[in-house]
Chains A and B, each alone.
Chain A
Amino acid sequence: MFRGQRSVTWIATAVAFASLVTAALAELQEPVTGAGGCSQAAMLRLIMYCIGAVGVIFLGLGYGRVTGAITSMANRLRSEQPVPWDAGTPRVLRALTDAVASRLGARDDSVRQLQAQLKDFQIQSQLSDREKRHAEAILYSLRDAVIVVDGSDRLLMANAPAARLFGFDAEQCRHRPLAEVIGGTHGPFTELVCQSRRHRTEATRRELQFPVGDRPHTFDTIISCVQDDARVCGVVAVLHDVTREKEVSQMKNDFVSHVSHELKTPLASITAYSEMLVDGEADDEETRREFYTIIQSQAQRLNRLIEDILNVSRIESGLIKVSKEHASLTILIEEQMQMIRSYAEEKEIAVIGQKPIVFDQVRVDKDMISQVIVNLLSNAIKYTPSGGRVTVGTEVDETAGLVRVTVGDTGVGIPQDEVEHVFDKFYRVGANNKQAKGTGLGLNLVKQIVEKVHGGRVFVTSQVGVGSTFGFELPLAAAGQVATA
């Protein structure tokens, strides 16, 4: 390449020289043909042309050397490997070229480093985008209400439960002050968020109450400040609804209280009568026999109570032994009515049954269903004032294939807002607490036995001051099954 360029330079120089000489000769010929001789001026022009031609020649030679050197420099700068210098390249240009090449090489390294860094940044950006999406997906999938505000208490993010709880549109309210978005009865919450930010509290935990629907709910609220260089750049609030947990906890406390009372009452009798016997306070055989009988009946009462507690627990855990057989509900009801009649008579309450039904066969665990009937009967008597009436009814619905038993009373009744809870475990109707003692287990046991063990259904209707009707339905045993049983 270098050699080729040099040849071209020489050829161009030669052509220029030839042209100059030709032009000079042409100039000389003109005065000869015209004036018959060579003038001094013409000679001078010829000399000048020759000098010009020589100059051009030298210029050509010089240009060749310059272009050679430049080409050599360019090749050296362009190539990553050292390229041999053209012999005609001056030393100064060689040094200059090496310096430039060195700087360019350093610049190339910087560019490569920057490119690598840019790539890293792009990857990190993608990763952080993905992490952000994951974090948001987690927050949005939480059942707890989550609200994030910035360092000026403006709403940054809220998940659906939070929007539902406080009644706002999360997208529309973004970047609006929290106090504007959440106000009214939720004031304590916004105040807690502002306080946490102002005091830079790392984490605050508080129980707050807000109305949800028509009743107050309790929220375990955790407020965490997000700090950046000792400056609060945001606050995250998580609200976990603990209303149900608190209710269950309260019910458990009430249960422990009721159960301990119920257990201690027969125990008190047993202890007192035993002590009287030991101390010889029962003078005659008849009194002693009376004391023994009381101790025995109280021990049985204690045992029934413990059995009730255990049965609820066993049914719930599926560990109870069930032995089903065909039975007539009317007969089972009659047996239990006989057992409870003395208790009813003590309270001067009439227990009215009905005529036997022709076919009311069910496939049940007789002991369990007897317990259901006795629980309903004793409850009805317990909450009916003296002189009242308890009516037991049985009907067969052949179309639906079930037997329906009802126990109605003329008792105190249950307030409407409490009716739906009466079958809940440990639940006791507040207004009737003074009426009679109880653990809140009896009706729950009824529900568990009827629904969980026998696939039936319990129900209740009630009117305060008028009375209540509790009942249950059980599937009828198929006629063929009964015949072969």
Chain B
Amino acid sequence: MTASKVLVADDEIHIIHVVAIKLRNNGYEVIAANNGAEAYELACREKPDIVVTDYQMPLMTGLELIEKLRHDEQTKNIPVILLTARSFAVSQEQQESLGVASCLSKPFSPKELLKTIQDILYQRELALKS
């Protein structure tokens, strides 16, 4: 069984680092980008199983990244987890309309992020089987 591929996008190198360690320790393959534009390119090229993105990033914000992913046939079904330090920046309606699978507030717990990723991928696997 191949490891699930997670794309982590954040302009904070330390956040990418800690998330990558946590996910790799738990059997995931991690690819990383430090801005929205780079993340979009990686998503198109690498077709990750899930994307974890920061809300505020240079060049392209997290929301803009999700919009672009949703408009691309190859990436429109990739589940996305949004990390944000601005609690009220993204409304529930926005999350639903963009198909955000989960939204976690910074500071976040790596354990909680891991569990969220596991839950989303499990649900997705079930949905694909059925």
Contact = CB atoms under 8 A, between A and B. Distances in A.
Partners in one complex: yes
Interface stretch (B8-16, B44-52, B74-82): B8-16
B97 interface: no
A279 B60 CA distance: 34
B86 A265 contact: no
A368 B111 CA distance: 42
Interface stretch (A76-84, A92-100, A166-174, A434-442): A434-442
Interface residues of B, number: 25
B110 A276 contact: yes
A269 interface: yes
Contact of B25 (A269, A275, A281): A281
Interface stretch (B65-73, B101-109, B120-128): B101-109
B58 A267 contact: no
B18 A264 contact: no
A268 B21 contact: no
A265 B85 contact: yes
Contacts of B111: 275, 279
A268 B56 contact: no
B22 interface: yes
Contact of B12 (A269, A273, A434, A435): A269
Interface in A215-261: 257, 260-261
Interface string A195-220: 00000000000000000000000000
Contacts of B106: 264-265, 267-268
Contacts of B85: 260-261, 264-265, 268
A271 B58 contact: no
Contact of B18 (A257, A260, A272, A434): A272
Contacts of B95: none
A257 B86 CA distance: 7
Contacts of A267: 106-107
Quick one: which of B18, B56, B60 has the most chain A CB within 10 A? B18
B58 A273 contact: no
Contacts of B86: 257, 260-261
B9 to A, nearest CB: 14
A253 to B, nearest CB: 11
Interface of A: 257, 260-261, 264-265, 267-273, 275-276, 279, 281, 294, 298, 434-437
Give me the 10 closest cross-chain CB pairs, A-B, nearest first.
A264-B85, A271-B107, A268-B107, A268-B106, A261-B85, A269-B14, A272-B18, A264-B106, A267-B107, A272-B110
7 contacts: A257-B89, A260-B87, A264-B106, A267-B106, A269-B15, A276-B18, A434-B59
